[in-house]
Amino acid sequence: MDAPRNDATRPLYDHLERLLFTEAEIKARLVEMGAQITAEYEDRRQLTIVTILQGGMLFMADLIREIHLPMKVDSISVSSYHGGTESSGTITFNENRLPDLKDRHVIVLDDILDTGHTLHAITNRFRDECNPLSVKSCVLLSKKVDRAEKIEADFYGFEVENEFVVGYGLDYNGEYRNLPEIGVLKPEFYTHEA
Ligand code: 5GP
Ligand code: MG
């Protein structure tokens, strides 16, 4: 049998100071989240899941397979970090196009909720400009912080402390998104601080 993927023999895994969630733990939680969303949206026929790129890619791919309902999927790309480890507070929409959400029940997915600027900006724009039937939010990780924006996710996977995490879609400087686990990087792998 193959060695477990969360062993310490892989170079990228070696960059982690601390492992927070294994691949199996993430998958198990997604099954529960999928069941919760399936139950809540069972009677509705117009579900659209919109993921926030790049961070929400893996989360979307795995979560939608645990939601047993007809749905459409879409994505939106925004920037807030500009390479460092602190949220800038300014959300830049990278495309002019917004998804077609008219008369749809929308769930916006993101990898992690921190200050709330990102989810706040996106859910408000969708409500104001896209005529959806409803807009809810879903994040894999929710940081335990006092948020700048008064927003909480309607669905979330795990809570994390106020530290910078990578893996499973979450990057540092564009890298580590392909790490199957989530963890905290060793200090020597931060090339600069924002
Ligand atoms: P917010 O706008 O809520 O402050 O932050 C949301 C965005 O910041 C997320 O989409 C994510 O891209 C990024 N982010 C926040 N905290 C972390 C973190 O600990 N690690 C990584 N890699 N990205 C984070
Ligand atoms: Mg993001």
Q: How far apart are CA 148 and CA 4, in angstroms?
A: 39
pLDDT of residue 1: 46
120 found inside a domain: yes
Q: How far apart are CA 158 and CA 182, in angstroms?
A: 11
Judged against a pLDDT cut of 90, whether residue 143 lies above it is answered with: yes
Nearest ligand 1 atom to the CA of 117 is 2
1 found inside a domain: no
CA of 3 relative to ligand 2 center, distance in Å? 31
Give 117: exposed, middle or buried? Use CB within 10 Å, 0-12, 13-18, 19+.
buried
pLDDT of residue 81: 61
> Chain-wide mean pLDDT for the chain?
91
Can you name the residues that pair with 129 across neighbouring β-strands?
none
2 found inside a domain: no
Assign residue 73 the CATH number of its domain.
Answer: 3.40.50.2020
Tell if the pTM clears 0.75, that is, is over it: yes
Sorting pLDDT into bands at 50, 70 and 90, what band is 6?
low
How many structural domains are present in the chain?
Answer: 1
Ligand 1 neighbours, Cβ below 6 Å, are 52, 55, 80-81, 87, 110-118, 164-166, 170-172
Q: Is 2 a catalytic residue?
A: no
117 found inside a domain: yes
As a whole-number percent, the residues of the chain with pLDDT over 90 amount to 77
Please indicate whether residue 45 or residue 122 has the higher confidence score (pLDDT).
122
CA of 90 relative to ligand 2 center, distance in Å? 12
Q: How far apart are CA 30 and CA 37, in angstroms?
A: 10
Tell me the residue length of the chain. 194
161 found inside a domain: yes
Judged against a pLDDT cut of 90, whether residue 101 lies above it is answered with: yes
